[in-house]
Amino acid sequence: MNDKVESQYKSTLNLPDTEFPMRGNLAKREPELLARWEQIGLYQQIREARAGRDRFILHDGPPYANGTIHAGHAVNKVLKDIIIKSQTLNGKDAPYVPGWDCHGLPIELKVEEKVGKVGENLSASEFRKHCREYAAEQVDSQRTDFKRLMVLGDWENPYLTMDFKFEADIIRTLGRIIDNGHLHKGFKPVNWCSDCGSALAEAEVEYQDKKSIAIDVKFAFAEPAKLAQAFGIESTLPASLVIWTTTPWTLPANEAVSVHPQIEYSLVQLTEQQELLVLASDLVKDALQRYGIDDYKVLATANGAAFAQLPEQNEAPFMLLHPFIPTADGQPKAVPVITGEHVTADSGTGAVHTAPMHGADDYVVCNQFGIESEQMLVDDAGNFVATPVLEALELAGLSTADKGNFRVLGLLAEKNALLKKEKFEHSYPHCWRHKTPIIFRATPQWFISMHQAGLLDKAMQEADENVSWRPSWGKARIESMMGNRPDWCISRQRTWGVPIALFAHKQTGELHPQTPELIEKVALMVEEQGIDAWFDLDASTLLGDDAEHYNKVTDTLDVWFDSGVTHTAVCLQRDELQMPADLYLEGSDQHRGWFQSSLLTSVAAYGHAPYKTALTHGFAVDGQGRKMSKSLGNIVEPKAVMNKLGGDILRWWVADTDYSGEMTVSDEILKRTADAYRRVRNTCRFMLANINGFNPATDMVAGDELLPLDAWIIAYSRELQDTLIAYYNAYDFKALTKALMNFCVSELGAFYLDVIKDRQYTCKADSLPRRSAQTALYHILEAMSRWIAPVLSFTAEEIWENLPGERTASVMLSEWYQDFPAVSDETLGDAYWRRILEVKQAVNGALEKARGDKTIGASLSAELDLYVSDALKTELEKLGDELRFVLLTSEVRLHAMADEGDATELDGLRIQVSASAKEKCERCWHHSDSVGSDSQHPTLCQRCVDNVEGDGELRRYA
RNA sequence: AGGUCUGUAGCUCAGGUGGUUAGAGCGCACGCCUGAUAAGCGUGAGGUCGGCAGUUCAAGUCUGCCCAGACCUACCA
């Protein structure tokens, strides 16, 4: 307290007082609030309170049930929560049912680490049990962290894609999509183990060194002269494109040769052989050396695009003759030269033998050019099948692993197409169980066709016409992605997934004629026992004698299908939800993911989109805008922020940041965020401290009795509320936080609160001047606690608890504040006070100058002489004697404009500041002639005497 | 490599249809107050509007190119 003696009159003041602490101590106290929410069943109470009201359905996209939550999770959940809470305050019934995506490979990998692989250490069924347990643990762990973010939802009843009922509904939805004619059976290359006789998942493949035979093979151009022209020269010599491969056995399945459009190729003339070869320019030297040819010359060069088909072209400019596969009429089979981005000039020849049945890249590139193989030439055991052509070539029945491979080499040699053959050791995929090399082999896979029943067209139409994409570029994004996508391959060769519960005829591959009924039967079983019901099922149980003719499909569904059908398994199943949902809200990556899988499955099953609006947010990145990564060490973990700064700080950050692009987080940003939070908090605290002793039931001042300044701030607040609600409804939270902040700083901090302090502290406790201001503060707090509730969920509740009067158990059980008193003052309205603020600003400038001169210190030690225009004078006189309270000075004298004082930024205003020579009142600190006029209180001014023991001073304006 | 998006003071953000010295809040510096005090009030200093070129009498705002970053394409949720 320094050496100053505390005034004996201090006890006669009404100083601010509140239990509401200056510092939030959020990390410690937020969990206490969460416990209380849980204890009173807040989420359920809100449901009951909003039962029957208009609904707002934000449907939760399921995060994957693996790993601790990161900033991206936090952003997503908090944004959802802000929307849910603001809609709840709108009076809507806005349930939030969180969910998790539980099947799939990442969980399989985690479980494998723990218990080993299926078939080695345990059965598939046991493995699935472990997966289920693991996923449940992950859900629990993530749920705890999500709740800690103060996200309100039905956490005790979330949806899990591994719930038996959910699994059954996935199968039912698949059935519906099949009924609508979208299912299609096709071929696609997968990892295939000839020993297992089955496809392997990526996780079942391990890489080991393998010795292969690498060969360089000539593919002769059908029209060599034309080729020479493409290189800009004339020649009639035979010409070949040379490919290099380590899998000779795939050559019978060749359908094309790929070159890179931008790589340069050389046309090389072999002097001795009198023929031309096309090789990537960078590889000419190596290749010819490999072939033992040193007598050659490069005739010309050209980019691949000059002699190969581009995706936008309808036909290939050049065809090659397959070295040994004939067509039906005995002529060599012709295959096109195409361009592919997968081609490199790092090794080989720069031209890639392309067999869509045996390579992933090959399949993709052939798809692009509409090239399809008619038949799979290799059987389940890895042997060539017996087609007439292969029989004639003596390939039929030979194993691709050895004899078949050698026979291909022989054929090439016979046809003089083999330039080189050598041993080649490389890393090659092997079956994890048999430790044998695998092959790429196209197998039957299930697809959802984009075209056969018009799915793509309808989905595009829905996206275009019936969904609002926000930001608007989301529409172009998803349309472009869907437009380019191939048929959706929904088959996976996995253990932990929902089965494609179908029976396919052993010979024809046709689905069983009773498929719809069978699917429902299976679904009922899965509903009881989970997906194991299918895997354990003996086909004869359902098919009877038919079983011998049908294969039970054991592929699992792509997990995107699982999460894609939440519209059915969740929105249609839960009474509190509905479909289509009002809003899906996910990261921008989900245009390719969930937004799309949901749209496609919904359109396929029901013919319409599952959401009315798709809102997107960006990714959390570091202060420099770079993605977070372990190696950069720039990861911001929600948990750490939570434990250090608190959830409300993190939530304010989410709200304050423009989520339409990348969202930057760093220590500095969070520090600024915490600063902003403290400002809002302290403003509320000051208001709470100043309604100390105010009982709204008995002390509230009626609208028409309020002092004009108080009426103004109430009217201002009411208008601000409309603005804030509009921001919430537009999901523009950064505008909201800025508006809130500005209100606290400008209208309140720098003006209203500063001005009313004198009245609050010095007037009689129960006087009209004080009660009027308290009435205003009370209304503002009632409104403010709701304004901030969707964002600052903890702090809002804290204010709520500290407000006087009967109220609900949580601010979230209320709606936007509607009990502002009707106030209207035409003469002293908003325009008037804005004018006063301009004057105050000019006065501040003058006071600051006087302070610099050491003329004054505190503004109450100053007196003002204002030289003003007639118009301004009329305005200022409206406040009479109380102008000094607004300007926070001891005295203000108004004069007609004259050449006195200093000019200000305002035209009609000149100001003279002087230090008051009058006595300072010990109690109110104003300087006044009246100090000492009462002998009982020699250190007080007259109005303080009135306030201490008289009837109290009168205030009419401020 | 391609597609989409983003780039305004140290930080977070405003800046309809191009038009005076580019704004706000925070932070920072300085000052005041000590009856909001690990607070509050005031004043002030900070910007090549990512860069370059162009259209125009005039561009942060239109066009092109470039740079940096993010997301998506290699079936991975």
Q: What tens digit of pLDDT does each residue of A669-680 get?
A: 999 999 999 999
Place of tokens 């496609």: A600
Place of tokens 């991206």: A72
CA A746, A747, A751, A757 torsion-angle sign: negative
Residue nearest to nucleotide B41 (CA to C1'): A750
Separation of CA A665 and C1' B51 in angstroms? 26
Per DSSP bridges, beta strands A891-896 and A862-868 are parallel
What is the structure's pLDDT at A244?
A: 84
Separation of CA A14 and C1' B35 in angstroms? 9
Nearest DNA or RNA nucleotide to A621 (CA to C1') = B70
What is the structure's pLDDT at A1?
A: 35
Diameter over CA atoms, chain A: 131
Can you give the length of chain A in residues? 958
What is the structure's pLDDT at A509?
A: 77
Separation of CA A80 and C1' B4 in angstroms? 24
Collapsed DSSP state (helix, strand, coil) of residue A48? helix
Q: Buried b vs exposed e over A457-475: b needs ≥16 C-beta within 10 Å? A: ebbbebbeeebebbeeebb
Query: pTM of this prediction?
Result: 0.89
Nearest DNA or RNA nucleotide to A23 (CA to C1') = B38
Nearest DNA or RNA nucleotide to A926 (CA to C1') = B35
Separation of CA A654 and C1' B11 in angstroms? 15
Separation of CA A63 and C1' B3 in angstroms? 26
Distance CA A711, CA A821 (A): 9
Separation of CA A373 and C1' B47 in angstroms? 62
Which residues of chain A, if any, have pLDDT below 50? 1-3
CA A847, A852, A857, A863 torsion-angle sign: negative
Separation of CA A639 and C1' B22 in angstroms? 39
Separation of CA A664 and C1' B56 in angstroms? 37
Separation of CA A484 and C1' B73 in angstroms? 10
- Using a 7 Å cut-off to protein CB atoms, list the covered nucleotides of chain B: 1, 3-7, 10-14, 24-27, 31-44, 68-77
Nearest DNA or RNA nucleotide to A488 (CA to C1') = B75
Residue whose C-alpha is closest to residue A558's, from A444, A439, A448, A429: A448
What is the structure's pLDDT at A181?
A: 95
Separation of CA A443 and C1' B40 in angstroms? 75
Nearest DNA or RNA nucleotide to A921 (CA to C1') = B35
Distance CA A604, CA A631 (A): 43
- Residue A603: count other Cβ atoms within 10 Å of its Cβ: 25
Nearest DNA or RNA nucleotide to A9 (CA to C1') = B35
Distance CA A345, CA A244 (A): 11
Nearest DNA or RNA nucleotide to A856 (CA to C1') = B32
Collapsed DSSP state (helix, strand, coil) of residue A78? helix
Long-range contacts from A286-292, C-beta under 8 angstroms, 24+ separation: A287/A216, A287/A242, A287/A349, A290/A216, A290/A419, A290/A420, A290/A422, A291/A216, A291/A419, A291/A420
Nearest DNA or RNA nucleotide to A746 (CA to C1') = B25
Separation of CA A945 and C1' B49 in angstroms? 59
